[in-house]
Structure 1
Amino acid sequence: MSRSVKYTVVRQYEGFVPLLRQVPGFVAYYWVDAEHGVMLSTSVFEDQAGADELVKRAADFVRDNLAPLLPNPPQVTAGHVVAAG
């Protein structure tokens, strides 16, 4: 990976990929079907500032577009990357 990746966010909903790509520091996005109705998304940024910006934009996107489908907030885990392969 050519960029220095230091921070990531994991979210259990999706639908805002074009929005995500506009966030400064965006590196990568992964969507996982964990089966049994569970979907996971992982967003990778160059730093925490980009991840924090996505949290704000994602909340607005869900409120404006997905609120009836997602009555409960997602489980969000975030932190500094300590190892990458």
Structure 2
Amino acid sequence: MMVSGSVNSLMKTIDNGFMPIISEEPGYIAYYVVDSGDGQVTAVSIFEDEETSVKSNNLAQEWISKHLGDLVPGKAQVIS
């Protein structure tokens, strides 16, 4: 996702806001957020199976839209 503003601020917001939510989801194994350079951030979630992975992607899309609208211009790309 492209970031408008501080990548560090975005990553801190994700750590404090989204990590506690996604880590409680059934099938959760791990979640990583990486500074991809050029104002982009890549997030990778790992779940036990495709069904829980797809559910987490939907949850991520909703959370990003609701909580990061000012930091992420446009729509974040979520891929399963």
> What is the TM-score of this pair, normalised by structure 2?
0.67
Question: Is contact 2:32–2:43 with CA below 8 Å preserved after alignment?
Answer: yes
Identity %: 30
- Larger of the two Rg values belongs to structure: 1
Offset at 1:60? 2.3
Q: Does 1:45 align with 2:47?
A: yes
CA distance in 2, matches of 1:17, 1:35: 22
More helix by share: 2
Q: Which runs of 4+ in 1 moved over 3 A?
A: none
Offset at 1:23? 1.1
Question: What is the one-letter code of the residue matched to 2:56?
Answer: L
Paired residues, number: 67
The equivalent of 2:20 in structure 1 is 18
Q: Which runs of 5+ in 1 are unaligned?
A: 1-11, 79-85
The equivalent of 1:54 in structure 2 is 56
Question: What is the one-letter code of the residue matched to 2:41?
Answer: M
In structure 2, relative to structure 1, the CA distance for the partners of 1:24 and 1:66 (3 Å cut) is same
- Which structure has more relative contact order (CA 8 Å, sep 6+)? It is 1
Question: What is the one-letter code of the residue matched to 2:74?
Answer: N
More strand by share: 1
CA distance in 2, matches of 1:34, 1:59: 19
Q: Which runs of 5+ in 2 are unaligned?
A: 3-10
CA distance in 2, matches of 1:75, 1:63: 11
> What is the TM-score of this pair, normalised by structure 1?
0.64
